[in-house]
Structure 1
Amino acid sequence: MTLQNTSDAISSPQEAYILVVEDNVPNFVMIARLLAQMGVNHCEWKTSGWQVVQFAPTLPQVDLIIMDIDLPYEDGYQALRKIRSHPRLHETRVIALTATANQDEVNRAQAAGFDGFLSKPLDAERFPSQIRRILANESVWEWR
């Protein structure tokens, strides 16, 4: 199976294949509902950094990974390093998601190679726009 990685802009959320890595069930449910309201038809869920590293390469396509930083087994930074080293995933957009939202954490996420940053709790009003911008290859670094 060949994994498609679309580093190009995605024209609509309906076309996007999104992998959410979140160990908190209520947070994942909120993200999944917001994505569904946007029309996202392809959303997968994993609960640890280790799981995303094992699972992402098995997907036929991954356009965006929304990944919590504070994950069990391997945190988001450790998982990102492995994702970036995978030949079929190295250009996949990966967005950091964390409740530890401050300028130091944003700087750390940028230095680590994340493609964007969203803070928890998510703003349900802004989230659809943020995801559309990310899918359009725009930079989103929002933590306030």
Structure 2
Amino acid sequence: MVITLERRMEAPVDAVNRYTKTSIESADQLTLLTMLYDGLLRFLGIAREKLLKEENAHEPCIRARDIAHHLLHSTIDDGSEISTNTRSLCFHIYREIITADMEKSADRIEQIIPVAKSLRNGWAGLKEKERNNSGER
């Protein structure tokens, strides 16, 4: 009976994991970038709250750092001003997360959240513009 109960408990989690995996695998590049920034902002928010409560924020900082690292290395450096600035901002976010984690500083996290939001909104706006343009055809 316990085995059946455990399996029932696992089924919804498996379904959510499959749904998430399918969403990621079928998403276009702009949607993936927006999803990454959403994750970054989520973990920055968790880290900020934990630091304000003087709790251990290492795990959410690591998760945010890993996402920032991925964003940094997924930005194509074509020499344009936009790509150079985006990479610089991603590197700044990455560096500040590491410093915030070492110093246990909610202030550092608070300073980079607006930067991450701005980048996220820029990609989401580009996605919306792309969607509107494809609907006009």
- TM-score category (smaller protein): under 0.3
Q: TM-score, normalised by structure 2?
A: 0.28
Structure number with greater Rg is 2
Q: Greater helix share, 1 or 2?
A: 2
What is the TM-score with the length of structure 1 in the denominator? 0.27
More strand, by proportion = 1
